[in-house]
Amino acid sequence: MRRVVQEEDNGVTAQVIRIGHEELVIRQRYEVISILNDILIGIWFVVGTVFMFYESLVYAGTWLFLIGSIEMLIRPVIRLSRRVHLKRFHPNSPDIWSSPRDY
């Protein structure tokens, strides 16, 4: 059974995916997304490089280099989105600027 819940520990929200008796806990989701993006960039460039050794795969290798290059552009977008958020403004709520939640 797979269930996704949000837990809060010391003001830090974590995504918890429960699968049977096991739990996958994801904290600092923007950092996790950035790491996964970097892994994909590496995969695209390594496979693209290997494809360049074979004449019949050069075209596919070129596309993998393009995909890797586009993902390199995504990296600063992930970093920027971690620091800049759009939030709803509630004029009657308590001080929203002192919230400990960074997500």
Q: Which residues of the chain have pLDDT under 50?
A: 1, 102-103
Whole-angstrom Cα distance, residue 32 to residue 37? Answer: 9
Neighbour count for residue 34 (Cβ, 10 Å)? 19
Q: What is the pLDDT of residue 90?
A: 62
pTM across the whole model: 0.60
Q: Which of 77, 78, 99, 79 is nearest to 88 (CA)?
A: 99
> Torsions phi, psi of 81, nearest 5?
-65, -25
